[in-house]
Amino acid sequence: MKIIILRSLGWLCVGLAFIGAIVPGIPTTIFLIIALWAFTQSSKKFQTWLLNHKRFGPILENWQSHKVVPLKAKIFMVILQISAVLLVHYFFNKLIITIGLAVILIFVVLYVFSLPSNVPLTKNFNRIALRNKNSN
């Protein structure tokens, strides 16, 4: 039963990510990360398919190996979070709910922005770059 739920969650998130790749305003990266997690727990076959995907594979490989979240995704996340806080305040008009949501999302922002935005350079790459710089 657990495997069925995880695979269903994975495919739901893949579907939402595909929609997000086409429709502005729907995030892609977070759905892919959730799908990767679900498939890692439930299906090696689907995990491999996702990691080898032409468009999404590199993003997920960077996440899985280095916990990298691209700067563009971070900025988009903040914009969506601000929009969510404003919408919640508009629809519920309860200051305590708005403040509570804002506090939670601030911690999310702090965590996500503490993650790297780029894949770290390897030591070999640094040595080659230094060698090329010194030879010029």
* pLDDT per position as a tens digit, 88-107: 899 999 999 999 989 998 99
CA neighbor of 4 nearest in space, from 46, 32, 33: 46
Q: Is the entire prediction scored with pTM above 0.85?
A: no
- 126 phi-psi bin (left φ>0, alpha ψ -120 to 50, beta other): alpha
pLDDT in tens, 12-69: 999 998 888 887 667 788 889 999 999 999 999 999 999 999 988 988 998 888 888 8
The answer to whether 33 touches 65, Cβ cutoff 8 Å, is no
